[in-house]
């Protein structure tokens, strides 16, 4: 599958830190509790893919799942992310990737009982995201 943003491994390595590359391009996971983006926001933010800058999530769908990673109950729009089956740990999970560049963001889980409108938890690596103040009224 082709992506709007495509780079060679060398180009990704030149633009991402070693930790960012590991998570975004090798489907790694940051240590739980290590992201400053995990906790509740004090103002509205837009969260973008750190690799390509695509807007993915907003503060309005972020919630504190107390799981060690930033959690959202939906992306900005379904066309912003793509889903892939992940059996890497001997179980079936749903991997979430950026639809613009194919970078690994995290996983989505359903039916965990959180009081959210979608019953979904997008468990996203904070290192995979950039955060900026949201543009209000747009």
Measured distance CA(103)–CA(33) in Å, rounded? 21
Has 49 been annotated as catalytic? no
Of 49, 52, 101, 123, which one is the catalytic site residue?
Answer: 123
Which residues carry out catalysis?
123
């Amino acid at each position: 599958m082709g992506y709007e943003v495509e780079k060679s491994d060398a180009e990704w390595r030149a633009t991402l830190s070693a930790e960012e590359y590991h998570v975004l391009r090798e489907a790694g996971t940051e240590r739980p509790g290590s992201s400053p983006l995990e906790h509740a926001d004090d103002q509205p933010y837009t969260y973008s893919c750190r690799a390509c800058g695509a807007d993915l999530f907003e503060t309005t769908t972020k919630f504190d799942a107390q799981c060690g990673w930033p959690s959202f109950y939906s992306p900005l729009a379904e066309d912003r992310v793509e889903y892939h089956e992940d059996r890497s740990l001997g179980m079936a999970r749903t991997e979430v990737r950026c639809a613009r560049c194919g970078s690994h963001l995290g996983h989505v889980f359903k039916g965990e009982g959180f009081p959210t409108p979608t019953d979904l938890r997008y468990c996203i690596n904070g290192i995979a995201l950039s955060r900026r103040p949201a543009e209000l009224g747009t």
